[in-house]
Chains A and B, each alone.
Chain A
Amino acid sequence: QKEVEQDPGPLSVPEGAIVSLNCTYSNSAFQYFMWYRQYSRKGPELLMYTYSSGNKEDGRFTAQVDKSSKYISLFIRDSQPSDSATYLCAMRNSWGKLQFGAGTQVVVTP
C-alpha cells in the first residue's frame, strides 16, 4: 500500500465551477503538506504549503489538512481553463523526503 493515495482522475469541470481535490495518507508522522501543479511536459510548481492541521487560503486556492483523518484537500474556486493541469499532493515529516501522490488530472472546459 502506498503511503499517499490520490485519485488519478481525470476530473472534468465547467469553467467557473469549484474543483475539489484530495489525498489520503497512512504515515502519521507527516507534518508538512503541499500541493503542486504540473502542466504537461513541465516540472511541478508549488501552489500551497501547510504545516499541521487547519486551513490556508491564497486567492482562489484553499488547502485543508485534517490530521485526525489523515486527509488533505485542495479547492479551486472560479476555475479557469488555465487551471487545467495535473495536481499533485506531497507531504513529509520533519526529517524525511517528500512523498508525492500519483496526481489528479483536471480539465476545465470553457
Chain B
Amino acid sequence: GAGVSQTPSNKVTEKGKYVELRCDPISGHTALYWYRQSLGQGPEFLIYFQGTGAADDSGLPNDRFFAVRPEGSVSTLKIQRTERGDSAVYLCASSPAGSVGDEQFFGPGTRLTVL
C-alpha cells in the first residue's frame, strides 16, 4: 500500500512569510509525528498526534510553529513569520497506534528553504 506522503517536496519562501506543510499518513494509522532535520543532524521531535489531538507538543520550538490534524488523518504543520533558521527538512511519520513497540514509518520530507 501507499506509504507516508508529504507535500510539497520542496518549499522556498522569504523571511517573514507563512508556510504550510502537509502530511498524509498511512491509512489507518492513528499516531502521527512531525520531526525537523537540519543538515548533518538527526531528526528532532516536534509534535505527536494521537487521533485528532496533540498528545505531546513539547518539541515545537516556539509559538510560530503550530500543527493540526482535524480529522485524525491528514496533518498540516504551519509556520508563521518564517526565519532563516527554520530552513530544514521537515519529516512526518506515522505508526499504527503510537505504542512504544510500534514502528514509525517516515515520509520523504519537505525541504524548506527560507531566504
On A, residues with C-beta under 8 Å from B are 4, 6, 8, 32, 41-46, 49, 51, 88, 90, 92, 94-95, 97-103
Report the separation of the CA atoms of residues A8 and B39 in the bound assembly, to the nearest whole angstrom.
11
Tell me if B's interface is mostly helix, strand, loop or mixed.
Answer: loop
A-B contact count (CB 8 A): 52
The closest CB in chain A to the CB of B38 belongs to A102
Whether B106 contacts A41 by the Cβ 8 Å rule is no
Is A100 in contact with B44, judged by CB distance below 8 angstroms? yes
Query: Given A101-B42, A102-B40, A103-B42, A46 and B91 touching (CB < 8 A)?
Result: no
Q: Which of A4, A32, A98, A101 has the most CB of B within 10 A?
A: A98
A43-B93, A43-B106, A43-B107 known; A88 vs B4 contact (CB < 8 Å)? no
6 contacts between A and B (CB under 8 A): A6-B42, A41-B108, A51-B101, A88-B43, A103-B40, A103-B42
In the assembled complex, B65 has its CB within 8 A of some CB on chain A? no
| B-side contacts of A8, CB under 8 Å | 40
Shortest distance between the CB of B89 and any CB in chain A (Å): 9
B residues less than 8 Å from A97 (CB atoms): 33, 45, 48, 56, 58-59
A100 and B56 form a contact (CB under 8 A): no
Chain A min CB distance to B56 (Å): 6
Q: Known pairs A43-B93, A97-B48. 12 more at Cβ < 8 A?
A: A32-B101, A42-B108, A42-B109, A43-B4, A44-B43, A46-B103, A97-B56, A98-B45, A99-B45, A100-B42, A100-B44, A103-B41
Provide the bound-state CA to CA distance between A97 and B34, in Å: 11
